Structure formats: C-alpha cells, structure tokens
Structure 1
Amino acid sequence: MFKKGYLIPLLAFLPVLFLSGCEPNMVVFQPKGPAAREILGLINWSLIFMALVVIVVIGLFVFIVWKYRATDKNKDYEPPEEHGSTKLEITWTVIPILIVIALTIPTVKSIYNLEKVPKGYENKKPITINVTSADWKWIFSYPDQGIETVNYLNVPVGTPIKFKLTSAGTMNSFWIPALGGQKYTMAKMETQLYLVADQPGEYIGKNTNFNGKGYAGMEFTVEAQSPQKFDKWVKDVKNTAPKLSEKKYVELLKPSNLGRQTFSNTHLAYVDHGDMHSKTYTFPELYRNHDYPGKIFKEPDNHEMHMEGQAEGKSMEMNNMDMKDMDMSGNSNGGDHSGH
C-alpha cells in the first residue's frame, strides 16, 4: 500500500498527529524563515529516532511475548540457573548511548546556529527591536526608527531582526512559531534572538509561559512586508501617532489585556527594563480578586484616531483624570486601538 521509502516518515509523523488531535495545520511544520526551518529539521530528525525506538521496542515485545508464551509443551519446563549475557548487557547499554549522541550533536549545532544571524543574511544590517513583556501585553520598541507598538509588529521581509528581550515584571516566553523558537524574557536582564521572515504574511506570536489570569489573551501579530511598505509604515507612524508619556507608559504596564497601540516615540527614554538598576514596576494590589476582560483587536489604529489634533486632546483628558475615579483594577481593553 505504501512505498518502502515512505514508511519511516509516515510512522514518525503518527505520534504528532495523535498528540495534535489530527490537526493538519501545524505552524511549526510550515516554517516561514531560516530559524524555523533549522528547528523543523531538528524536529524531523528526532521524530525519525523516536519512530525507530518505538518500532524496535514494540517489535521485540511482541516477539518475546509470543516466543516465550506458556503452552502445553512447556508448562512443566524449569529454566536453568543463568547469570545473564554480557553481550546483551553491552548491546542494550551502548544502543541508548548512540541514540543520545545522534540526537545531541545536531541539537548542539542548531543551538549555536540560532544564536547568530541566520546563514545567508550575515551581510545584511539587522533591525533592532526591543521587546518588553508585561501583564498581559507585548511592547515593541524600534530604537533606530524612534517608534513603539503594542501587541503587533511590522518587519521587512528578508531582513534580520535582532530582538532584545526583557520583561517589566514576571517571566514570559516570546515565541513566533512560524519564524523560530521561543526565548524567555526576564526583568532586569536581557536576552537576544535573531529571526528572519523570508516570506510576506501575517504570523501569530504568543507567550508560552503561564503568568496569570490574562495569559490566554497575551498574543500579538507579526506582519512581514516588503522593505518599501515597512519604510512607508514607519514614516506614517512618525507623522501621525501620538507621543507616549512616562505617565501613560506606567498605566500601560498595569495588568490588563489590551488591543493594538502605536506611538511616535519609545519608552526607552524613561526606562530600560533590561538594565539591572532600572526601576521596578509592580502592582500587587491589582492582582487581587479582579477580572481583566480583553482580546486582540483589529480596528483603526490609535495613531489614526489622533490625527488632526485628537491625539493631544485625548492625552490631556487622560492626564486630567482623578486617580481616585480611575478603575484601579487596571481594566483597559484598548478597544479603540489597532495596527496596520
């Protein structure tokens, strides 16, 4: 029924289908960048070894159970005293060691490859994006472009992206499955991740580290677009998006699920959470007995809504609000914000 050459890949794929509920649209098996392809190669290599181990173990189990089953011919058989087989002991000790070595070598190579600019893009200048995780949103700063977004990213296709990852509070895990693997964000320290999108499209990013009630809504989108469109977007943001004040940024850090937001400056002028000596922003009173409704929104971007003077008016309105009258639960759905 199946050609011989397809047997092992088919058997290797069966556990994945089983664990995924037979869902055919698995993002990690549809890489859109070199880092994701590197990881996929490692996954396939591991699946093949898993399939071989399962086949051999189940085969030996069935063979031994059948061969040494109880029958009328051997019901009175009493086996002689034996001290074991040295050859067998060596064999079943060496085989797992060889399997571990065969898995370790490509794993170590992939780990080192993923810590640098992907092969083929070494001569292209990377774009730096500072990633700050907060409960429960993602904040992206473009220091070279002087802009900042919340819960969405725009990146140029075919350009290395150097992510500098940190957290304003709890530890989170930054992951864009279509482009690469996950990496942790931690307060007062910084990790780095290089990714490249070599195909245009929109991809989902998420947090894979459980961090409280708003965890499920802590997603973001990544739009990979041509360099020309990216430059146009940056110019548009700088000309139309509102400024992010330090007071507004502190409000942004409070626990809540937000929609997309865009600003024509970055919070790095006020605080760099990757700095060991940076200020700590914690709001323990807001985590007690509160609910935080919200979802990812795709509506007109906030910087478009602030055009023609609206940005200044809305900013002044926020600054004049009495803190006693504000919802101290940190509820801020961000429903009137969305990105491109």
Structure 2
Amino acid sequence: MQHAGPQGAHGSTETGAPASRPGAVRVPPQLTAADVDRGWRPGASGPAARDTEAASAPTDGARGEHTHSEQPIPLPRTEQSRPDRSRPAQTPPARTRSVVQRSSVRGQILDALRTALVGGELAPGEVYSAPALGDRFGVSATPVREAMQQLALEGAVEVVPNRGFRVVERGARELAELAEIRALIELPVLLRLAATVPAKRWTELRPLAEATARAASTGCRATYAETDRAFHRAVLSLAGNTQLVQLADDLHRRAQWPLADTKTDTSRAALMADAADHGSLLDALIERDVQLVQSLTRDHVTGAH
C-alpha cells in the first residue's frame, strides 16, 4: 500500500497515511437520534429537512465529526414500519423508532482496519494519519481516530504525537509468547471437552472447519483469519465459559497480526496446512483420542506442522 507524503489530509499535521484509491471501502455516516425525532429521512425536503440540517450543522465542539460529502443511509424497515394492507389507506402504519448510533460507524471502521492490518495493507513500522484514512473510507477523521485508539489499547498500533498511529513491529519472540499463553489456556479446556462432549457435537462443527479450508484456498490471509477464529470460538464455546472464549479470541487475533520479518511464511500453502489441522482436530475429538488432541492442539497453536 502506497503512503502519502509529509502533508496529511485536510491540512492535518498527521502524516504518512495512504492516499485514497478507487474501490476503497466506504462506510456511510449514520443518522442521529435528533434526526429521527424530527422525522428526517434520506431524500426528505421541506421545513423538516431544513430544520434537521440546521440542527445537525457542526459546532466548534463537534468539528471533524462528519464531512460534507458524506450521505446518510436509510434506516432499516421493521415489521412495524412496513405498510399494513389490512388497514384503511388513510391510516398510516405505526412506526417504530430505530436509531443508528455513530458508534456503528466506528465499529465498521475498526473491522476494516483490523482486516487491513491482518492483510498487510497496514504495514508494520509505518505511520498512518486519521484524516487520510478517513478520506480512504469516506468518513471524517473522528471515527477513524477512535478506532485507532482501540487498536492502540489492543497493542496493534502506537500513538505518534502530531503525526498519527504507527503499526507496531512484532518479532518472532512475541508470537512465541502468545502461542505459549494460548496453549496454557486452550489445551486444558480441549482435553476436558474431549472426554465429555459427545461425538455428535463435534460433527456439527465440521462445516466451520471446511469453511477455513475454503478460505485458505483463496490465499487471502484476512479472509482466512476470520474463519480461523470462528472455528476456534465454536470449539471453546462448548466449555460454556464466555470469558474464556473472549480472552482466547483476543489472544488469537493478536497472534494473527503480521510480523515485521517479511520472511514469515504467509503463502497459500501455509494457510492450507493450518486449515487442515482443524479437520484433524475434529477427528481426534470425535474419537476421544486425548493424546492426539494434545499434540495437534499444541502444534496448531505454535504453528509447528
């Protein structure tokens, strides 16, 4: 991914962000509660629309939240909001208020940034500015900055004052440490589940294992990462411990971030080998082969094939 020059977007002092490019993901802004209360909808005109536009104009305290080029998206139609043909035409159907918070935009941006991070579009060691990334996604810098702050809390990026966010450069040692922690958490759980969960439950997870194989065959690291974590979440969820699943998923996500060493094997063949472990693990769990479950889990988590 190419990076911008020393001058950030919108005159920002943040630098190093990639210029916007055709086909980039665009996340449209959301309606606010005030817009819905005034009865405003996309394409509306007249006093209600003008009142809404005036009321939603950015103030000094809200500058940078949205850009003039952003367009609102229609609210989802609920069963209550669809026309009821059994009622007289002159009686408008009841409408359920549906408010889409701005946090949903931040969530979409966070997902997009995580995908770019795993896929290598956000390169380790590079600095990216929120305004320029906002241009790429078609939103203001604010939700991008908030999403980047979340990634900073997760350890994926670090704040560079007056410039933006630098993608953390990780080495093999950190990856090994994450693998050790994952093994300490997941292995005892899988050994317990292997002795208690009936074969039928493991068979039900077969489609998820097959999904990881299909994703691996595409060679797309970001696509495979999502299916990989989905499979592991489903396996661990059989333990009935929500906190365990969330903790293990966070560690797994961090283990998927690219290393600074470009020699790391991220080829299609490597993804296919990793995906094959899922099917083998299910076979061992169905057979209640505890020793094989132990060796497969340890090798899979540490990346030893």
- TM-score clears 0.5: no
Q: Give the alignment's TM-score, normalised by structure 1.
A: 0.26
Select the structure with the greater relative contact order (CA < 8 A; seq sep ≥ 6): 2
Q: Which has the larger radius of gyration?
A: 1
Q: Give the alignment's TM-score, normalised by structure 2.
A: 0.28
Higher helix proportion, which one?
Answer: 2
